[in-house]
Amino acid sequence: MTDQDIVALFDDKIGPPAFEFADKRIVAFANALLRKKEEEIIELHARLAGANLRADIGWSRYENANTARINAEKCLSQTWNSLLSRAIPEGHVVVPKEPTIEMIAALGFGGDVAMAIGHAAISETIANNYRAALSAAPAPEGEA
């Protein structure tokens, strides 16, 4: 909308061009307000664009770091599995040297951990039997 359009609207509302001076002042004031609002809007758009750019850069860095982490985890997992497959011969498993309370409960108390804890002497006997069984286990081939 041009200044003349705004003046025409005011002429329709206010009356004859005798108020032309007042109309021009109103138009100038309205234009100043519009320019101020446009500047504010432009500044706001610039701020938002900057924030979005920073967010995009941050997100991109996050995605890159996350992808690197995932790749490192896959590589580590593959390496670990490869090492385990070479280190643990077929038919053997890895078990702790000392039995856990859950293992003791499974061996002598039907899995009841509270019962295993309550019967310390029996639990110690089971733990000793577990250690004896580990000592008697055959060593993997190539180890003596």
pLDDT tens for 90-142 read 778 888 899 999 999 999 999 999 999 999 999 999 999 999 999 998 877 76
Mean pLDDT of the 43-67 span: 71
Domain regions of the chain by residue span: 1-87, 91-144
Helix (H) or strand (E) holding 111: none
Q: What is the value of pTM for the model shown?
A: 0.41
pLDDT interval class at 19 (50, 70, 90): very low
- Picking from 139, 134, 144, the residue whose alpha carbon sits closest to that of residue 88 is 139
CA distance 60 to 88: 41
